[in-house]
Amino acid sequence: MKAGNVFLVGRPNAGKSTLINALVEKKISITSPKPQTTRRIIKGYWWDEDTQIIFWDTPGIFGKIKDQASKKINQITPAALPQADLIVYLIDKTRPRGSEENKILGLVRKVKKPKIVAINKIDLRTPDYTYEYKFLEEEFDAWIEISALKRINLKTLLREIIERLPESGQPLFDPKTIESFPAEGITPQRFIADLIQEKIFLTLRQELPYTTAVKTERIEEKDEIFYIKATIFTIADKYKKMIIGKKGATIKQIGSLARKEIELFTNKKVYLELNVETDPHWPEILLE
């Protein structure tokens, strides 16, 4: 049979989480890469009679390192990459290349395994920066244009992946034991806190340096709905203001991004209550 670990690599917002969910349809687990760390790696399991794939949704690499938390996130993907049997390098064609993209390409280049470049978001006609990435066509083993969201060309992508997977004498996992949420090696509280942290970075990355930590206060499930309460801690009132944004627009954006992704992984409706608090002695332990 063919079996292997397939890494989805790409900058934040390229569409990695969307793609993994579209490919594996809910057979997902969340794993902490090392027992000592809390940051997560999400794995999705795909199989049929003669193929087994574990897709790794690696956290994005942040171009500009602003604080301890993003520094830690940036270390996860390089540390895990040697385990890859194949890499799918996901590119958001609606954004031009930049230093962040180059940083990721640098990482991908070091891995001597089959590599597929997947140009994502082709359902959006514009903006289109595909031409800025064309040079990759020669360097990579395959070039595929997809839409993770609209599920365009995903079957082709899967076929191209399977074609390049190593032959294996034994299965990678036992499909019977694959569970969905919650996860191995990481608590749902930590998973949700990390997700919110990621969305804070995504939403505020162009802004001033800041320092945050997130704590999940409560998770309750009632009538198929998850009620979640979480607090974002920051060290000064000016940062609190930034996180909340004008008329609460920024915190709303962060909450909405986080909620959607939690819904993806739980397959349940989610109510997310997010609070921001200033704490000059902000709890370092939350970052571990």
Residues interacting with ligand GDP, by CB under 6 A?
Answer: 10, 12-18, 60, 120-121, 123-124, 147-150
Closest distance to ligand GDP from the beta carbon of 21 (Å): 8
The verdict on 58 binding Mg ion (CB under 5 A) reads no
Of 275, 269, 266, nearest in space to 196 by CA: 275
For ligand GDP, give the closer residue by CB, 242 or 257.
257
Indicate the residue type of 279.
Answer: D
Closest distance to ligand GDP from the beta carbon of 278 (Å): 28
For Mg ion, give the closer residue by CB, 16 or 115.
16
The verdict on 266 binding Mg ion (CB under 5 A) reads no
Of 143, 141, 82, nearest in space to 111 by CA: 82
Residue number of the CB closest to Mg ion reads 17
220 and 226 Cβ atoms separated by less than 8 Å: yes
For ligand GDP, give the closer residue by CB, 120 or 231.
120
Indicate the residue type of 177.
Answer: T
Count of Cβ atoms closer than 10 Å to residue 166 Cβ: 12
Closest distance to Mg ion from the beta carbon of 201 (Å): 11
Binder of residue 216, out of Mg ion, ligand GDP, none (CB less than 5 to 8 A by kind): none
With CB under 5 A as the contact rule, the residue among 6, 7, 15, 17 that binds Mg ion is 17
CA distance 216 to 196: 9
In whole angstroms, how far apart are CA 86 and each of 2, 7, 34, 139? 12, 6, 21, 14
